[in-house]
Chain A
């Protein structure tokens, strides 16, 4: 018996049973029983019709089944491009699924199966391309861009904070690097601008008064 369909219909049975068990009352017991039987019957019919439509593979263990499902999700159909093997019914996809199954039954690892497919169909066969110099941009560009953006945003917000606090890094640095002569010159200019500012302040204050 196929493991996939067995699982599916046993879970259906369980859910219908537990649903009806919650609300059993003597009055409508017969109706509940009838609906339970109907649900069982329906799930049987459904599981058999599903059975006919999908490929039937026997697996030795749930691990093997999980491995198979993982691989057919990851591998791409070479004929109907932009579909994976799981989603494709093309003859070549069926062959590749069969091959994947055979190799899993032989106990091959994911890496071995991927290598087998890549040898025949190139990097194109998998939706998860290998990491190598030619694919570095694919793997590392997005995270790198994210990191650069975060750093840039951090730096920007820090700078705007500093500007808001009114301390400019440029002023501090240049003041520290001044020679004695330059300092004297700066003092002279500052005192002049101060007197200017004072007179300006006087003017604005008189304007305000008007």
Chain B
């Protein structure tokens, strides 16, 4: 009795088990394909996107405290109090830096257009730096000398040239890594500077959401 009972139960069960195993195997074979397709989709959407990671820790913070000599007269020590009260661009440059040389004529143009530029001469020989300004012209309302690179480190600099847009209250609002030229001036820097200028004229701090939008 028990023997025949067992006999009758066994065949349908093993049969069901086998079909389940077959469909399971089919799914296991599909998994690599699905993963592959997902990776392809992900890579496709990353195509042409910038791969450089820009660190923007200086943003929305005041210009770091500094006590550095003036480049044109190193006996005079400049501090944060000597920075302009209106929005300005702070450009970190060095005569040794090839991109700075390329950028320089555009900085001269900006000065002609009435943009206030403050230079930070970054880890440079003072003779080379003054020679560079004599040859190419001096677009800066003042240049401070950062011989050790400590001030640049506090700014979170990754190299020269870099430019920071600072508002009337001395808070950094935009950080441009690399050269500035007509195209990023038109698309990024000028809109930001205009918002900051407007806020400065009304003597209020700029609207954070607006800054977020134009100065990103």
Which chain A residue lies CB-closest to B24? A156
Chain B residues with CB below 8 A from A166, complex form? 10, 13
The answer to whether A163 and B17 touch (CB under 8 A), given A92-B159, A120-B154, A124-B55, is yes
Sample of 10 further A-B pairs with CB below 8 A, known A120-B153, A120-B154: A78-B156, A90-B159, A91-B159, A92-B158, A95-B123, A120-B156, A121-B55, A168-B13, A197-B4, A197-B8
The answer to whether A194 and B55 touch (CB under 8 A), given A78-B158, A92-B159, A163-B17, is no
B81 at interface by CB-CB < 8 Å: no
Residues of A at under 8 Å CB distance from B? Answer: 78-79, 81, 90-92, 95-96, 99, 119-122, 124-125, 163, 166, 168, 190, 193-194, 196-198, 201
Residues of B at under 8 Å CB distance from A? Answer: 1, 4-5, 7-8, 10, 13, 17, 52-53, 55-58, 123, 149, 152-159
Chain B residues with CB below 8 A from A197, complex form? 4, 7-8
Which chain A residue lies CB-closest to B8? A197
Chain B residues with CB below 8 A from A95, complex form? 123, 149, 152-153
Closest 4 CB pairs of A and B: A197-B8, A78-B158, A120-B156, A79-B158
Chain B residues with CB below 8 A from A91, complex form? 123, 149, 159
Taking the closest CB of chain A, its distance from the CB of B138, in whole angstroms, is 24
How far apart are the CA atoms of A163 and B20 in the complex, in Å?
A: 12
A194-B57 in contact (CB<8A): no
B157-A92 in contact (CB<8A): yes
B53-A81 in contact (CB<8A): yes
The answer to whether A194 and B5 touch (CB under 8 A), given A81-B52, A92-B158, A92-B159, is yes
A119-B57 in contact (CB<8A): yes
How far apart are the CA atoms of A96 and B55 in the complex, in Å?
A: 15
Residue picked from B1, B154, B155, B158, most chain A C-beta under 10 Å: B158
